[in-house]
């Protein structure tokens, strides 16, 4: 499906929201002119919205998804889909029973360069896939957030891991057979700071995933300082975040309490200076979630600033890509098409459960020292052949 980057033409409107914070509800009604509710159930029961976007803490996803499904609402559920596979299964069953679509987001598998690399692999134009490697070093652990959020998602493993796992599963076809991994700790936050992981696909293709969110090295140095969203990234961002985090950690009890109170609002909708994160103009470059290199038996691919570069016998050649819908806008467009055309969505609940299975296996493998076999994997939904 072609996606043009004209957000005003997208076939949806934001008309209602739910948030327990009064000032956030007030900000929403001022900015969007829609209805604001204090409770998720009240929104789903009373509002005529067709789709709800569930961006609540992951431990609440199951309860909120089941409310939405019972009220006949289609939904996008933020990553991770849930914190346990049992909750994922319950959410999928509930959505199926009530006949609603559940799309899993938000991950970088929706980015145009990732989809293009999958397309090239699927076409066979540079031969069979032989391995995938992806690395991301950034400052995730030291961004503004509550300590409980890092604890709940085991640092980046369940929060950022779905991005990496989705990217690699999509390129590799989806069916991961086993996981062997080791988690590293972040001494500043006291939470996991990243992981080194090897996946083996059922096809026999290996993939390595490296993530380090401790604000030390920055992989953007390797790709022209392009940010995750396709903007120019500050080369000093990592050390600024690490230094700010160290300063908070050095505060006394009163200072830490004050910093915690600020963290409860920083970066959240309705806080001073915070508005909706909708994009109205395209960033200058394609989004980069770290560096991903895809090797086939007749060529190798990586992202460029404006598309995908393929390295083969004739030397490197670039496949330029236009400014397509990305992130949450791409997800909502995908869900819209799935609803109006009555077809499966690109990444549904079963896909998200398979991704969570890989992320949980990273933790389990690190703790046990064993290779973990997987059983809930599903193939990528490529749609009709080109």
pLDDT digit string (tens) for 244-283?
999 988 875 455 445 554 555 555 676 655 444 444 567 9
Q: What is the mean pLDDT of residues 345-353?
A: 93
Note whether 43 and 49 are within 8 A (CB). yes
Average pLDDT of span 196-206: 98
Read off φ and ψ for residue 22, nearest 5 degrees. -55, -40
Provide φ and ψ at 66, rounded to 5°: -70, -35
- Confirm whether 45 is domain-assigned: no
Note whether residue 43 is domain-resident.
no
Residue 199 binned pLDDT confidence (cut-offs 50, 70, 90): very high
pLDDT at position 266: 59
User: What is the reported pLDDT for 328?
Assistant: 77
* pLDDT tens figures, 302-346: 999 999 999 999 999 999 998 777 777 788 888 888 888 888 888
Whether residue 62 lies inside any domain: the answer is no
Q: Which domain holds residue 211?
A: 108-323
For 291, which DSSP code? Answer: E
pLDDT for residue 275: 46
What is the separation, in whole angstroms, between the first and last Cα of the chain? 11
pLDDT band at residue 9, thresholds of 50, 70 and 90? low
pLDDT of residue 3 exceeding 50: no
Q: What is the pLDDT of residue 274?
A: 46
% of the chain at pLDDT higher than 70: 89
% of the chain at pLDDT higher than 90: 76
Classify residue 46: in a domain, yes or no: no
Q: Quick one: 20 exposed, middle or buried, by C-beta within 10 A (0-12, 13-18, 19+)?
A: exposed
pLDDT at residue 381, rounded to an integer = 84
pLDDT of residue 338: 87
Domain assignment present for residue 169? The answer is: yes
132: part of which helix (H) or strand (E)? strand 129-137
**Overall pTM surpassing 0.85 (yes/no):** yes
Kindly state whether residue 199 falls inside one of the protein's structural domains: yes
Name the burial class of residue 13, with classes exposed (0-12), middle (13-18) and buried (19+) by CB atoms within 10 angstroms of its CB. exposed
pLDDT of residue 203 exceeding 60, the answer is yes
Whether the CB-CB separation of 79 and 162 falls below 8 Å is answered with yes
pLDDT tens track for 135-159: 999 999 999 877 888 999 999 999 9
Query: If you average pLDDT over residues 228-257, what whole number do you get?
Result: 84
Mean pLDDT over the full length of the chain: 89
Q: How far apart are CA 330 and CA 112, in angstroms?
A: 10
Residue 217 Cα to chain centre, angstroms: 21
Lowest mean pLDDT among 133-147, 220-234, 293-307: 133-147
* Per-residue confidence (pLDDT) for residue 324, from 0 to 100: 78
Lowest mean pLDDT among 11-20, 35-44, 164-173, 370-379: 11-20
pLDDT at position 343 is 85
Q: Does residue 38 surpass a pLDDT of 70?
A: yes
Say if 44 falls within a structural domain. Answer: no
- Under a CB-based contact definition with an 8 Å cutoff, are residues 315 and 156 in contact? no
pLDDT at 217 over 60: yes
Determine the pLDDT at residue 162: 97
Q: Are strands 191-201 and 176-186 parallel, antiparallel or unpaired?
A: antiparallel
Q: Could you give the number of structural domains in the chain?
A: 1
- What average pLDDT does the segment 36-56 reach? 95
Q: What is the CATH number of the domain that holds 288?
A: 3.30.360.10
In a domain, 183, yes or no: yes
For the segment 30-39, the average pLDDT, to the nearest whole number, is 93
């Amino acid at each position: 499906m072609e996606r043009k980057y004209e957000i005003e033409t997208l076939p949806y409107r934001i008309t209602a929201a739910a948030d327990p914070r009064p000032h956030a509800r007030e900000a929403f009604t001022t900015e969007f002119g829609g209805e604001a509710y204090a409770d998720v159930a009240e929104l789903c029961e009373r509002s005529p919205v067709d789709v709800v976007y569930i961006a609540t803490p992951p431990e609440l996803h199951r309860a909120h998804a089941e409310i939405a499904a019972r009220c006949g609402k289609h939904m996008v559920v933020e990553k991770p889909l849930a914190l346990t596979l049992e909750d994922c299964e319950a959410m999928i069953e509930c959505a199926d029973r009530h006949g609603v679509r559940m799309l899993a987001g938000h991950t970088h598998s929706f980015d145009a360069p990732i989809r293009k690399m999958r397309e090239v692999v699927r076409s066979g134009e540079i031969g069979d896939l032989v391995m995938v490697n992806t690395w991301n070093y950034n400052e995730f652990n030291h961004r503004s957030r509550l300590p409980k959020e890092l604890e709940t998602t085991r640092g980046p493993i369940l929060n950022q891991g779905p991005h990496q796992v989705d990217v690699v599963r999509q390129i590799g076809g989806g069916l991961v057979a086993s996981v062997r991994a080791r988690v590293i700790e972040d001494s500043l936050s006291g939470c996991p700071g990243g992981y080194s992981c090897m996946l083996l696909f059922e096809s026999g293709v290996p993939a390595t995933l490296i993530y380090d969110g401790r604000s030390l090295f920055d992989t953007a140095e390797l790709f022209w300082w392009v940010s995750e969203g396709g903007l120019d990234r500050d080369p000093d961002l990592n050390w600024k975040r690490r230094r700010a985090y160290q300063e908070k950690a050095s505060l006394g009890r009163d200072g830490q309490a004050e910093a915690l109170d600020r963290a409860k609002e920083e970066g959240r909708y309705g806080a001073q200076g915070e508005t909706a994160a909708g994009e109205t103009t395209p960033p200058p470059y394609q989004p980069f979630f770290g560096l991903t290199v895809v090797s086939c038996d007749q060529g190798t691919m990586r992202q460029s600033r404006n598309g995908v570069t393929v390295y083969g016998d004739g030397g490197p050649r670039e496949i330029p890509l236009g400014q397509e819908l990305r992130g949450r806008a791409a997800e909502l467009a995908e869900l819209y098409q799935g609803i109006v055309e009555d077809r499966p969505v690109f990444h549904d609940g079963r896909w998200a459960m398979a991704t969570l299975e890989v992320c949980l296996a990273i933790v389990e493998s690190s703790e046990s020292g064993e290779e973990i076999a997987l059983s809930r994997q599903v193939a990528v939904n490529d749609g009709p052949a080109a």
